[in-house]
Chains A and B, each alone.
Chain A
Amino acid sequence: MNGAEEMSWLETRNLQSVALGEIPVHPIEMLRRHVIDSVAAGKRLVQFFGDRTDSGDTIYAVLADDNASRLYIASSLLRGRKSFASMTPEVPAAHLFERELYEEFGIEPVGHPWLKPLRKGIPGIDENEDQYGFFSMKGEEVHEVGVGPIHAGVIEPGHFRFSCHGEKVYQLEIKLGFQHRGVEELFVRNASRPIYLEKLAESVAGDTVIGHAGGFIRAYESLAGTSVPRRAKVIRTVALELERIAVHLGDLSALSGDVAYLTGNSVFGALRTKVINTTMAICGNRFGRGLMKLGGVDFDFTPDLHDRILDTINKLEDDVALASEVLFSSASVLERFEKTGVVSKETATAIGMVGPAARASGVPVDVRSDHPFGGFEFLAVHKLTLPGGDVFARAYLRFIEIQQSLKIISEQLGGLTVGPVRQTAGLPAADRIVVSLTEGWRGEIAYVLISDSEANIRKVKVKDPSFNNWFALSLAVRGEGISDFPLCNKSFNLSYCGFDL
């Protein structure tokens, strides 16, 4: 990074809080230019959001340099301006961030190619559903298929609109926002009630309890300067990896179910139960609720529990290997998985995909090794990638990630030190900002916390990995048979409520 760039960005790291005053403030045109240049130079857009205070609207941009483990923050004070030139045409990854900005603050990204409501609709602009403006195709044999927002089965609400020619999908438009709960505002409104905050973070996405709670809690601890005991970090890591294993196993089971492969469906489903039961043995809840606390964790590993987890992990290793061998050697399953729903590496990079879905397209992003947090500071995680970008790659990557996580857990348990598992959490320092990145099972969970001059948390920005990856699903099904959509969808397994917040 040269001198000029140092002036334009504040360099920081994951979970390292910085004073708000240190962040460079640019005119919006300059900020836009800096983002475009930096993304072109290989950095990744992590956050791009607005913040409304008495002195006006501020836009913050957070970029990540994954190779150097650095984060870069810059801002722009809008001073009453209500529009700026969209950067989505140059930086496709900014697409949803700009729509979010438009929806929340009415700040219009001029020239945005797909400017529509994102979640709740824009007051005074898009209150009417009919004005949403779905993309539509015309043609004699072109037909539209609308699915949802109410689905068969236990699925969250979301609307999918396909433009098809016979069985072939030309275009899929996804409309979400049916689960908008105002999570970010709830965080701010209850900033003085730590227990509420912990519970809320656990509920951002019900399938990523440890991931989201960890992401928020570490950000808060960083603002408050709380140092978490080593033993608590280990327990948190074990819980996070158990969550990853459990969901990945559940996904392999569901992927098998979607292609009507009974053996995989039942075997992986049974294995998942063993894992979530282990989480229950730790904290009394199968999804890990109640474990993560500000300052540490609420449950310690007794020697019995320690042995039980190790025992489960060891048994699981063989069972998973056996079940996966059967699944991935079944010709009828491979016929469905291979070359289905392909996302190329170029596309994945351009639209800013994260997590296993990105790694299955060959993009090496993994917060655990790029921007180590918690227990991963003492642990080298090898980034696993696959080249295919198809359903097979996303499925197979889950299998090898399960194996990796099992190893991480047994290593962590081996190095468990004696000591307390919880520290009294302090209060946030005044006028600071912190970026917290966490590799949840679905990918990068990004929290940004800003405190005001009275040391209250004034702004909480949440980004679930689903936010990055939903668009990839739209692109993955282009040119596929419409009957393969459910399979593609499952291979991403994205969160609706995590997106809707």
Chain B
Amino acid sequence: MPKAVAEIVIVISPLFFIGLISKVKSLWAGRKGAPVLQPYYDFFKLMGKGEVISTTTSPVFRIAPSIGIAATFFALTIIPIPVFGSVIHFEGDFVLFAYLLGLSKFLMVLGALDTGSSFEGMGASREVTYSTIVETAFFIVIGSLALLTRHFSFETIFASVNLASGFSPLVKILLVVSLFIMLLAEGSRVPVDDPNTHLELTMIHEVMVLDYSGPDLAFIQYTASLKMTIISILIADLLVPSSLALIPACALSASIVALVFVSVGVVESLIARSRISHIPQFLFLMTTLSLTSFAVVAFFLFGIIR
């Protein structure tokens, strides 16, 4: 029962965190800013609207946002919530997790290409290019955790990550930064993408959804925020000790997730967006960090245990 409550809270919370990012950015810029709950108003506003659907599109365009949100919900059930654990878990479930996120993205790309717009085609091509880097790095992240704990399911990995060895703090730091970079990339935030721009030529995620309106757009925006929340929960999984009692664990997890989003806001306030041609360099940082952690686990820890 408490697990169900936790899942429901997580399903409701992503838009709050998006509001939190905006609030941080506003305060940084010296403005009052929109209310933190603004994304919810926007969500319900969009849900109440009609849709304009381009006559050049096929049914793929129509179903992409719905399948995207469904796949992301499914992915949510696989990740363990600190102390509560996950709804579904089995050996190798993180592979399913990665491909559920991949499926959601694949359909968005198809939907974008379906419009036939040159803008959306460019956005889709960029999205796919960067995803190939991020996805690989994600598997290295999980791979080093699996190697460290000798487990192959999210739940058991995170349950034992704290007990595994004295090297885990170092590995954890590397992996937390990796996951944060993944969050910036998957969430289309600065320096990878600029969520606030009106300049179609520079966009990645935003340009792919230009043709969506009404409930479909609401789904897409929600999906994006849920994805970020999921990744921030993975960060919390790494940092929250499994020995904590229920209440402190919940409080700590929520604070970590909130802190992750505040950090996104701070990053967006302090640095400019990268040149498109330099974004892979930034994303390869995630690859490098995860490879380093993999190397630490493999060479030192693995060797010592032997």
Contact = CB atoms under 8 A, between A and B. Distances in A.
Interface of A: 143-147, 152-153, 166-167, 256-263, 265-266, 270, 330, 332-333, 335-336, 340, 481-487
Given A482-B122, A482-B201, A335 B29 contact: no
A146 B30 CA distance: 37
B277 A167 contact: yes
Interface string B25-47: 10011110000000000000000
A336 B273 CA distance: 8
Nearest to A331: B271
Contacts of A147: 200-201
Contacts of A332: 191, 271-274
A261 B271 contact: yes
A167 B276 contact: yes
Interface residues of B, number: 31
B196 to A, nearest CB: 7
Contacts of A336: 272-275
Contacts of B198: 152-153
Nearest to A152: B198
Given A145-B118, A145-B119, A332-B191, A259 B273 contact: yes
Contact of B268 (A146, A166, A262): A262
A486 B199 contact: yes
A257 B196 CA distance: 9
Query: Among A153, A330, A332, A485, which residue has the most Cβ atoms of chain B within 10 A?
Result: A332
B173 to A, nearest CB: 23
Contacts of A333: 272
A53 B28 CA distance: 62
Contacts of B30: 266, 270
B278 interface: yes
Given A152-B199, A260-B190, A270-B30, A481 B274 contact: no
A497 B83 CA distance: 63
28 contacts: A143-B118, A147-B201, A167-B122, A167-B276, A260-B194, A260-B196, A261-B271, A261-B272, A262-B25, A263-B28, A263-B269, A266-B29, A270-B30, A330-B271, A332-B191, A332-B271, A335-B272, A335-B275, A336-B272, A481-B275, A481-B276, A481-B277, A482-B122, A482-B201, A483-B276, A484-B276, A485-B201, A486-B201
Contacts of B247: none
Nearest to A487: B202
Contacts of A260: 190-191, 194, 196-197, 268, 272-273
B274 A335 contact: yes
B245 interface: no
B8 interface: no
B196 A484 contact: no
Nearest to B199: A486
Contacts of B277: 167, 481
A145 B119 CA distance: 7
B28 A483 contact: no
Nearest to A155: B198
Contacts of A167: 122, 276-277
B1 interface: no
> 5 tightest A-B contacts by CB?
A266-B29, A260-B273, A261-B272, A153-B198, A260-B194
B270 interface: yes
A266 B270 CA distance: 12
Contact of B118 (A144, A259, A265): A144
A175 to B, nearest CB: 17
B271 to A, nearest CB: 4
A263 B270 contact: yes
Nearest to B25: A262
Contacts of A143: 118, 121
A482 B30 CA distance: 32
A421 B276 CA distance: 54
Nearest to B189: A260
B29 A262 contact: yes
B279 to A, nearest CB: 10
A266 B122 contact: no
